[in-house]
Amino acid sequence: MTVTTSDAQTLKNALRSGVKTWHTLSFATMDEAVNFVNLDPPQQSGEVCFSYAPNGRIELMYFL
């Protein structure tokens, strides 16, 4: 899923639940991905992984 910076906080709040699961998002820049990771609640050590996609986007896998 591709997400904009303006939608990131809404999405992160919607994904909060009692049981954590892995999710994947695609961002245009590393700054956008890092900002998402640091939104409340910030991801902890081991709860996030970045990868560069062939199309130049940043693929983010996070545990929430």
Averages of pLDDT over each 10 residues, the chain, 64 residues:
77 77 92 92 93 96 92
Structure tokens at 44: 């902890």
Q: What is the pLDDT of residue 64?
A: 86
Cα separation, 25 vs 3, whole angstroms: 7
Which helix (DSSP H) or strand (DSSP E) does residue 15 occupy? Answer: helix 5-15
CA distance 3 to 43: 17
